[in-house]
Chain A
Amino acid sequence: MSVPGKPAEVSGVTLFVAWCAILVLGAFSLVMRFAHIGSFTFLTGFGVAVIQTTLVALFFMELVHEKPTIRFAFVTCLSLFALLVTLVTVDVITRSIPPLQDPPGTAQRYRG
């Protein structure tokens, strides 16, 4: 099937397989929620979400058959998103400086 402005269309079988994969991954994530694996719950939950959204973007949103301009827009956005979240998280995790204290005598000065 020729689609205006697109090189090709994702096949029905591929869409169905991608959808099944998303559901299976979701079920896996749900099972892991009750598996008592501590911090690994975070890894499985977040990792599965990344794979699921990749499948949605590639096959449901048809990025796999899109033109380079659209792929570029997607990759740019994804990179900026990852950069922002990573920098903020790393900043918080690696903080070792105690909160700033008022210089000596400040309280007295403002008390009048």
Chain B
Amino acid sequence: MPEHVAEQFEDIGKQAHAARLAMWIFVGSEALFFSGLFALYAAYRCEHPWGFGVGVEDNTVAWGSINTLILVVSSYVLTLAVRALRHDKPRASALLIGVTMLLGMAFAFIKVGEWLHHFGDGLYPGGWGHFYEEPGHGDPGTKMFFTLYYCMTGLHEVHIVVGLLVLGFLLYKVLRRQIGSWAPHPLEVGAIYWHFVDMVWLFLWPLFYLMPGAVGR
């Protein structure tokens, strides 16, 4: 199989290292992009502990937890796909990438279902909807909680969709034998991105589902 070494690199090892470094820097910039929203969450939670507590209580823990399980399993399956490709098992790798994509799609569908359920309850971002007019839901913190909830989980969902597109492209490349054990780094960098998406969710899950009660000043 050809090694596809770009002319600016001496060997495939250096090319792979450059690709991974670039992905890590990209992931770093993505983390800083999310950090603004995490900082907003922390600040508003300190200002409105009661309203945020009400918001967490209203979210369905079961759906958030199932999504966490799905994403953690998908991350593990993708590590197995990378290993399979490195060990020259492209068919197994392709199968595992496919499973990862199915799990990612399940996550995305559950999340959309959750939003639709919230819309049905009259709960929209920006403090819109009759949910906030019901007794006990009028706190500005609750409005802020759900606005951040839609922003952060929506942004995360966009990353999931992008991840699925990337994985689909990599699956095609593996099936066409354009990447393989001689140069598995395209799949490695795709996996780094997917794991990052998993990492972000591992923080969103407790913030939006697992921390009821007045935590703040």
Complex Cα spacing A93 to B49, Å: 12
Q: In the complex, are the beta carbons of B13 and A85 less than 8 A apart?
A: no
Complex Cα spacing A70 to B20, Å: 8
Q: In the complex, are the beta carbons of A26 and B43 less than 8 A apart?
A: no
- Which positions 23-49 of chain B face chain A at CB distance < 8 Å? 24-25, 27-29, 31-32, 35-36, 38-40, 42-43, 46-47
Contact A4-B25, Cβ < 8 Å, known A26-B68, A41-B213: no
Interface centre among A5, A10, A42, A78 (most CB of B within 10 A): A5
Q: In the complex, are the beta carbons of A80 and B83 less than 8 A apart?
A: no
Q: Which residue in chain A gives the minimum CB-CB distance to B39?
A: A88
Q: In the complex, are the beta carbons of B210 and A30 less than 8 A apart?
A: yes
Residues in A neighbouring B202, C-beta threshold 8 A: 49, 52-53, 56
Residues in B neighbouring A45, C-beta threshold 8 A: 206-207, 210-211
Q: In the complex, are the beta carbons of B199 and A57 less than 8 A apart?
A: yes
Chain A: how many interface residues by the 8 Å CB criterion? Answer: 51
Q: In the complex, are the beta carbons of A67 and B17 less than 8 A apart?
A: yes
Q: Which residue in chain B gives the minimum CB-CB distance to A9?
A: B86
Interface residues on B, range: 35 or more
Residues in B neighbouring A38, C-beta threshold 8 A: 213
Q: Which of A12, A22, A70, A85 contacts B35 (CB 8 A)?
A: A85
Question: A102 to nearest B CB, angstroms?
Answer: 22
Question: B202 to nearest A CB, angstroms?
Answer: 5
Complex Cα spacing A78 to B35, Å: 10
Residues in A neighbouring B72, C-beta threshold 8 A: 19, 22-23, 26
- Which positions 33-79 of chain A face chain B at CB distance < 8 Å? 33, 38-39, 41-42, 45-46, 48-49, 52-53, 56-57, 59-62, 66-67, 69-70, 73-74, 76-78
Q: Which residue in chain A gives the minimum CB-CB distance to B203?
A: A49
Q: Which 9 pairs show the lowest CB-CB distances between chains A and B?
A: A77-B28, A5-B16, A45-B206, A5-B17, A88-B39, A5-B13, A89-B42, A19-B76, A33-B210
